[in-house]
Amino acid sequence: MKLLVPIKRVIDYNVKVRVKSDNTGVETSNVKMSMNPFDEIAVEEAVRMKEAGTVEEIIAVSMGVQQCQETIRTALAMGADRGIHVKSDEELQPLAVAKLLKALVNKETPDLVILGKQAIDDDSNQTGQMLAALLDWPQGTFASGIELSDGKAKVIREVDGGLETIEISTPAIITTDLRLNEPRYASLPNIMKAKKKPIEEISPEDLGIDVAPRLTTLKVEEPPKREAGMMVESVAELVEKLKNEAKVI
């Protein structure tokens, strides 16, 4: 079985995000970047499947600027076998990414595509679903458990009311949720080995895909600062303020 694992380079989750002074976006200059945490979970799950003997090859794919190769090297150090970098300096929106992934799926013919349910920079939560629609493949989203057997994938999904278990046929798309696993740290020997693993560099034009943005960001603003709380003397006073001042009851 061959797995394709898309990964995204995003601002590190420990970094406080700052909005640009002209409100056109968030500041990324001189900011620490890392692999999207949900994609890291997807890589870990793929590596565990390979260790269990159900997967033979893992291909890590990232799209964007030249520095995305650093993110691919991280996935290779975790256990992926080779990487593909779709190099582009354009803003790649979810639909463009899904179209590029569809072209790569047609090229590589994987049995399964595993990716994070969303990226922590735009929180779009769209790419996996769009890719499934473009390929006309079954999908299991928000996965907190995955079992592969006999050309089927049993996926435990996190839904509002609890957990839902579904069974889908492969090839399929699976998007990972936080509770699926805990990603490993790459060891120094594996980091050194990752430097020798191949990364293929291609462009959107090579894949015949137009990645021109369909959406325009009008303005980006920081959320309003949280106001200080208020002390009250009694329950009656609390109810009165909730009713007449806050108007929530």
pLDDT in tens, 134-151: 999 999 999 999 999 989
Identify whether 232 is part of a domain: yes
pLDDT at 8 over 90: yes
In a domain, 33, yes or no: yes
Total domains, the chain? 1
Confidence label for 25 from pLDDT (cuts 50, 70 and 90): confident
Q: What are phi and psi for residue 221, nearest 5 degrees?
A: -130, 150
- Residue 225: the pLDDT is 85
Cis ω before 213 (30° cut-off from 0): no
Question: Would you say 26 and 20 are in contact if contact means Cβ atoms under 8 Å apart?
Answer: yes
Q: Identify the domain containing residue 235 by its residue range.
A: 2-244
Residue 174 has pLDDT above 90, yes or no: yes
Strand pairing category for 199-202 and 139-149? unpaired
User: Looking at the domain assignment, is residue 213 inside a domain?
Assistant: yes
Name, in order, each residue with C-beta under 8 angstroms of 75's C-beta and a sequence gap of 6 or more. 5, 7, 35, 43, 60, 62, 83
Q: How many residues does the chain have?
A: 249
The predicted pLDDT at position 168 comes to 97
Establish if 249 belongs to a structural domain.
no
pLDDT at 245: 86
The gap between the terminal CA atoms of the chain, to the nearest Å, is 56
Q: Which of 162-171, 185-194, 223-232 has the lowest mean pLDDT?
A: 223-232
Look at residue 235 and tell me if it is in a domain.
Answer: yes
Using the predicted structure, report yes or no on whether residue 161 has a pLDDT greater than 90: no
- CATH number, residue 105: 3.40.50.620
163 belongs to a structural domain: yes
